[in-house]
Each structure stands twice: as C-alpha cells, then as structure tokens.
Amino acid sequence: MSPSELSALLPILITAAAASALTAAAGFYSKHGFVAGFTMAAFALSFASIFIAAPAAPIAVSSLLVVDGFALFFMGLIYAAAFAVALLSYGYNGGAGGKHTEYYILLLLSALGAAVLAGSRHFASFFLGLEILSVSLFGLAAYMRSPKGNEAGLKYLVLAGASSAFLVFGMALVYAATGSMEFSAASALATRGGGPLSLAGMALIVAGAGFKLAVVPFHGWTPDVYEGAPAPVGAFIASVSKGAVVAVLMRLMGGSLASGGPLFTFLAAVAVASMFAGNLLALFQENVKRVLAYSSIAHLGYLLVAFLASGSFAAGAVAFYLAAYFVSIIGAFGVVTVLSVNGSDVDSLESYRGLAWRRPLIGAVFTAMLLSLAGIPLTAGFVGKFYLVAAGAASSMWILVLSLALSSVIGFYYYLRIILVLFSPSPRELPAEAEVHPAGSAALMALFAVLVFMGVYPGPFLSLVGAAASGLWQ
Amino acid sequence: MEALFYVSAVVAVIATLRAVTGKNAVHALLYLVVSLLAAALVFYSLGAPFIAALEVIIYAGAIMVLFIFVVMMLNLGPGAERQEKSLLDPRAWAGPALLAFALVAELLYSFSGGGGTAEANAQYINPKAVALTLFGPYFIGVELASLLLLAGLVAAWHLGRREKEATHDSPG
C-alpha cells in the first residue's frame, strides 16, 4: 500500500484498530466510562481523519474500495451518527455503573461495516461490509436479552440471512453476465441495456438491499425489530444501516438506471408503495417506536424519488436528505433513549402525555424532530424534502412527486398526534421516569442545533453535498 | 468433465431439496452433508481442486459433523434410545447413502481417467494461485472477513453467556 492509499483508508483503519483494541482490552479493563469514552474517541478520530484522507481522494484502494468525495461524505455522516448513538447509549446503559463492553465493540464494528459499504466498488467488499453490519446489528438488537429483544434479534438474523442469500445470488448472476465483480462492469453493462441475466441479477440485488432499506414489499420485519431493539440501536438501524446501503446502491446503479426500464419501473413502484404504506400504517400505532419504524419506511420511499432521478443534482439531494433524516430520526429515537433505562424502554404513546410540561427541553427537542420528519419549514427535514421534490421535478417524474406530496400530508397526522399528546395536560398519576443523563441531554442538544442550523441556513451544507455528489460517476 | 459437473450439480440440488423439506433434523443434516460434498465435486469438476478440498474439510467435515453431534446430543432424554434406534432405519440413511455413493462413483470414474481432460476454457487453479490472489489484490477482503468473524464472535459470546444476575435470562 502506498502512503496516499494508507491515508485515504485512515478512517476505516482507525475504526478497525479501535474495535480490535477494545476486544483485547475487554478482558482486563471494562469500566463503562473508559469503554464508552474510547468508542466515542475512536469515532471522533475516524471523523477527523476524513480531513486527512480528503487530499488523497479520489483514489482507488485495491480493486475493492474507492475513497472519493462521495465515500468520504457518507463516512463522515456514519461516524457522526455513530458518535451521537454512542453518546446517547452511555446514559441509557446505566452511566458510570454500567458494564457493556460488547455493546460498544459491536457498535464500532457496525460503523466499520457501514463505512466499508460507503467506499465499496466491488461485490466482495459490498457483501463483506453488509455482513459485518448485519452480524453486529443482530447482536445489538438482541443485546438486552429480554423476550422482545430476543425476538427482534432473531427476526433480524433470519431476514438478514435470507436477504444476503438473494444478494449473493444476484451478484453471481451479474458476474456470470459480465465476468467481473466490479461495479463499473455491472453499470457499464446496464447502460448498454444489459441482458436477462444481468437484469435478473440486479433485481435480486435490489431485493436483497431492499430488506436492509425496509422499503415496502420487504418491510415486514421493521416495526418488530425497532420495537424490540434497545432505543439507541433502533436509531442506529434506522439511520446508519440504511444510509450505507443507499450509498452503495448509488454507486452500483444510480448512474445507470435507464428511465422507463424494468428496474426503474420496479423501483418507482416500490417508492410509491413505501410512501403510502409507511404513512398509512403509522396512523394508528400506539407505540412511539413503531410509529418511527413506519415513518422510516415512508422516508426511504421519499428518498427513492431522488435516487431514481439520476444526475449529480439528484445525488446531492439524496445525500442532503439522508443527512437531514439521520439528524431527525436519531433525535427522535434519542428522546425515547434518554427517557428509558436499558431493558425497559418508555415507548407507549400514553407515557408521553404532558411530557412538554414536565420536561420542557426534551419536549421541545422531540417536537422539533417530529416537525422535521414531517417536513415543516425551518427544520432540516423541510430543506431535504424541498430538495427531493426539486430533483424529481427536474426529471419530470410527476407521479412520484405527487405521491411524495400526498403521502406527506397523511404523515402530518401522526406526527401532529404525537405532538398533541406531548402538549396535553399531564395525567394524575405520573409514570415512573428515569433521570435524564447529562450525556444524553448533550447529544440531544447537539442534534437539535444541527437540525435548526440545517433548516435555517443550509448553504454551507448544500455546497458540501454538491461537491461530494459531483465526483460520483466519473 | 462436463458430465461430472452436471451429475454432481443434480445430486446437490436433490440433496439440498431433501435437506430443506426434511422433518427430522438429523436426516436433514445428513442430506446437507451430501449437498456440501456434491458442491465440492462441482468445484473439482470446474478445475478448482483446492477449493473442493476446503469445502470437504471445513463445511462437510468440521462444521456439519459438529452440527450433527450437537443436534443428536440435544435430543438426550427418556425417548433417546428409541429415537436412536429409529436412526438406524434404512429409510433414514438409504437416501443420503445412495446420493453419496453416486458421488463416490463419479470420483472413482474421474480418477481412473474417464471423462477426458478439463474443458478448454476451464483452467486448473492450484493453491498457490488462490493464496496469491487472496493476499494480493484481495487482502483488504481477508482483513474484512476477519473483522466479520470478530463481530460474530462478540455477538455470539454475549448472547450465549449465562448471566448470574440476569433478570430476563433465557436460553439462547
């Protein structure tokens, strides 16, 4: 490896080294403060090393990985999100008294898998990254070993295994058609029209990735897993694991989707179905985590609108929307996290009645996150959704844009319903509530600041996204 | 060699179907072993004897035998003896044995020089070539695979551990 390759790969190397070091240290020293601090330091260091890697980009590191502006943008997003999740987890896992070394090792490894996906340009690294991510995530989903957690972990394990089988079979078919495992060969063939073999392969890959994205025909597992998994892990599954798969799909097929082709039509149908089904199913849920699960299905549907509108403007829209969605969904799950202690999450809608009067700060943050998910102006979610509509309109995909607008209106109902509960008078008998850990409040405040900043003054972020997206398909 | 490929492929498909549809875990696992052996012969017929050997040693040898032992030991109990007697019923082992016999016959046939040489477009890949590829252009993949194992190990260790003070302890 040359020095420039080494510096380009630094973010991934630091995370991998931290995960190995933490595993080695776990046998000797497992104080929660040290373990959590070490993990957060590793994420911060990986994030900082992106600026060291940037001058070397774009560079291909062996045939497996590529580090370019797009990959670095997503790695930055992944590490920032992982840092926020680690910070939220510290209080959730019992502060200084907790003992959860494996939790943080798995968190490091899943972030590593996601970062590998962001830089993949080869089916082998795609598969390995995805497996590192899924294997760590089912460990995390079942981490509390409560009956619901076990169910969540088992469902995730079985469905991740099934989706990997689809994915690998699809890769094999594409390999049979192209004779190469590199993305460039697959998308070059797809641009030329492909053949039945590569089309079937790509369809299977989309199905496999669709499980991870939880878009509509493949979404059955989502509410159960989000409900059973610990709240910070739910935040991680909803954000990082989806974002990384979006990144790898963009690199694999974003540039080669012929408008009107069979894959395009299929993905458009998936997008419309996800938007409507996600929003309609969320309407009558009484569990906040399940509402967020269905809401995340709808959001991936919105995202597909820009995904299908090819071009670097649309790629920028995808990147910006994902960033906005990351902040809002981690913030929303973060509120559930800070009110809960590990093993028993406060997730029934009723227990949030009057929260805004009892804990004004957390109530305000939750309200802001929900408004952002609904796409109300002055929040990041609004700018993101505006950007999506602009990208869809630029490619004149009117059906998709119309479904986006219509289903967003349906979505207002359940977001406003939660906000209404937050602001209604407190019940007589207050439910027992956990003390909010300062680390959790700090994470929420930071997310809130980013949310408002992105919503009020998106300029700097938009130029960053534009620069990241411009180099994607060259 | 082409016939060798198709025969082992058919054996693999039949054995896998029986493994998936089998109601008795031990019988299903026997079929799975045969399926893996057939897959090894597929690799062999394609000119990759090293991968074929690895398939036999690692999958059919180590992992599956462990599976079978674990499944058989989990069934210990009052009815265990009766159940073990039923395992000796020819209906249980005749199918896998027949398929395995087909594979052995194929192997002997190809060792005796039958079936001609490898296809023109299938080249022989030796262990050195595999090693040079793995630790040359794909060394990052090897490192990633090791981290994947680490993730599996940590997750399995945590979920399989018996906690003394656990409130929600459940077998798993």
Residue A402 near residue A346 (C-beta atoms within 8 A): no
Task: Please report the pLDDT score of residue A156 as a whole number.
Answer: 94
User: Nearest CA to CA, how far is B169 from chain A (Å)?
Assistant: 7
- Segments forming the whole domain that contains residue A64: 3-470
How large is the average pLDDT for residues B3-15?
Answer: 90
Q: Is pLDDT of B120 > 60? A: no
C-alpha separations of A279 from A113, A183, A216, A352, A407 in Å = 30, 34, 11, 21, 7
Separation of alpha carbons B10 and B16, rounded Å = 10
Residues 157 through 196 of chain A touching chain B, CB cutoff 8 Å: none
A3 lies within 8 A of chain B by CB: no
Residue of chain A nearest B168, judged by CA positions: A146
Tell me which chain A residue has its CA closest to the CA of residue B139. Answer: A62
Angle, helices A32-53/A69-92, rounded to nearest 10 degrees: 170
Supply the pLDDT for residue A40.
Answer: 96
Q: In this complex, is the C-beta atom of B142 within 8 Å of any C-beta atom belonging to chain A? A: no
What pLDDT does A56 receive? 85
Q: Quick check: helix, strand or coil at residue A422?
A: helix
Residue in chain A lying closest to B171 (CA): A145
Q: Is B162 on the interface with A (CB under 8 A)?
A: no
Two tokens, residue A246: 């979006």
Q: CA-nearest residue of chain B to A140?
A: B155
Determine contact, residues A10/A52, Cβ cutoff 8 Å.
yes
Tell me the pLDDT tens digit for each residue of B46-105.
Answer: 888 888 999 999 988 888 788 877 777 776 666 666 766 766 777 777 888 888 888 888
Using an 8 Å Cβ cutoff, are A339 and A362 in contact?
yes
Which pLDDT score is estimated for A335? 93
* Nearest residue to A307 via CA among A359, A262, A248, A246: A246
Residues B140, A16: Cα–Cα separation, whole Å = 12
Looking at the DSSP assignment, which residues form a beta bridge with residue A65? A61, A120
Above 60 in pLDDT, residue B165?
no
CB A474 within 8 A of CB A251: no
Question: What does the pLDDT read at residue B171?
Answer: 42
Residue B5: closest CA among B34, B51, B38: B38
What pLDDT was estimated at residue B163? Answer: 66
Indicate if ipTM > 0.95. no
Residue A267: predicted pLDDT = 92
What pLDDT, on a 0 to 100 scale, did the predictor assign at position A249?
A: 92
d(CA A140, CA B67): 25
How many whole angstroms separate alpha carbon A19 and alpha carbon B143? 13
Query: Would an 8 Å CB–CB cutoff place A62 in contact with chain B?
Result: yes
Using a CB-CB cut-off of 8 Å, the residues of chain B touching A135 are: 148, 151-152, 155
For B50, counting Cβ atoms within 10 Å of its Cβ (0-12 exposed, 13-18 middle, 19+ buried), the class is middle
Is B158 within 8 Å of chain A by CB? yes
Cα–Cα distance, B66 to B44 (Å, whole number) = 24
Residue of A nearest to B137 (CA): A62
Nearest CA in chain B to A108: B151
What does DSSP assign to residue A120? B
Hey, are the CB atoms on A109 and B147 less than 8 Å from each other?
A: yes
Question: By C-alpha distance, which of A357, A327, A343 is closest to A235?
Answer: A327
Q: Could you read off the pLDDT tens digit of each residue along chain A, which spans 474 residues? A: 788 889 999 999 999 999 999 999 988 888 888 999 999 999 999 999 999 998 887 888 888 999 999 999 999 999 999 999 999 999 888 877 777 889 999 999 999 999 999 999 999 999 999 999 999 999 999 998 888 889 999 999 999 999 999 999 999 999 998 888 998 888 777 777 678 888 899 899 999 999 999 998 899 899 999 999 999 999 999 999 999 999 999 988 866 776 678 888 999 999 999 999 999 999 989 999 999 999 999 999 999 999 998 778 888 999 999 999 999 999 999 999 998 877 678 888 888 888 888 889 999 999 999 999 999 988 999 999 999 999 999 888 899 999 999 999 999 999 999 999 999 988 777 666 667 888 899 999 999 999 999 999 998 988 888 888 887 765
Residue range B126-155: mean pLDDT, rounded: 92
Candidates B141, B156, B172; nearest CB to A64: B141
Nearest to B154 among A23, A128, A153 (CB): A23
Angle at B5 between CA B3 and CA B9, to 5 degrees: 115
Pairing of strands A65-67, A59-61: antiparallel
Per-residue confidence at B170, pLDDT binned at 50, 70, 90? very low
Which residues in chain A are closer than 8 Å to B169, comparing Cβ atoms? 145
- Classify B125 in phi/psi space as left (phi over 0), alpha (psi -120 to 50) or beta: beta
In this structure, are residues A53 and A11 in contact, taking their beta carbons and an 8 Å threshold?
A: yes
Closest CA to A91 of A434, A367, A446: A434
The chain B residue lying nearest A6, using CA atoms, is: B140
Residue of B nearest to A106 (CA): B151
Total tally of structural domains belonging to chain A = 1
From the list B140, B148, B172, the residue facing A132 with the nearest CB is B148
Residue A334 near chain B (CB below 8 Å): no
Which tokens in the block code for residue A178?
């192209």
Residues B38, B131: Cα–Cα separation, whole Å: 24
Residues of B in contact with A146 (CB under 8 A): 168
Q: Which residues contact A112 (CB under 8 A, 6 or more apart)?
A: A12, A15, A16, A19, A132, B147
Looking at residue B116, what is its pLDDT?
A: 54
CA atoms of A307 and A284, how far apart (whole Å): 29
* 3 state SS for B2-59: HHHHHHHHHHHHHHHHHHHHCCCHHHHHHHHHHHHHHHHHHHHHCCCHHHHHHHHHHH
Residue entry with tokens 């995808």:
A318
pLDDT of residue B172: 38
Distance from CA of A87 to the nearest CA of B (A): 21
For chains A and B, CB pairs below 8 A equal 87
Q: Do B140 and A61 touch (CB under 8 A)?
A: yes
Bridge-partner residues for A287, per DSSP? A348
Mind telling me how many Å the CA of A137 is from chain B's nearest CA? 9
pLDDT of residue A257: 74
Q: Look at A112 and B147 and tell me if their CB atoms are within 8 Å.
A: yes
Sign of CA dihedral B100, B101, B103, B108: positive
Annotated domain spans of chain B? 2-121, 126-162
Distance CA A375, CA A219 (A): 23
The secondary structure element, H or E, covering residue A65 is: strand A65-67
Interface of B with A in 61-100 (CB under 8 A): none
**Token digits of residue A100:** 């959860």
Task: Answer whether B140 touches A (CB < 8 Å).
Answer: yes
On whether the B2-121 domain is CATH 1.20.120.1200, my answer is yes
**Residue A105 touches chain B, beta carbons under 8 Å:** yes
pLDDT number for residue A332? 95
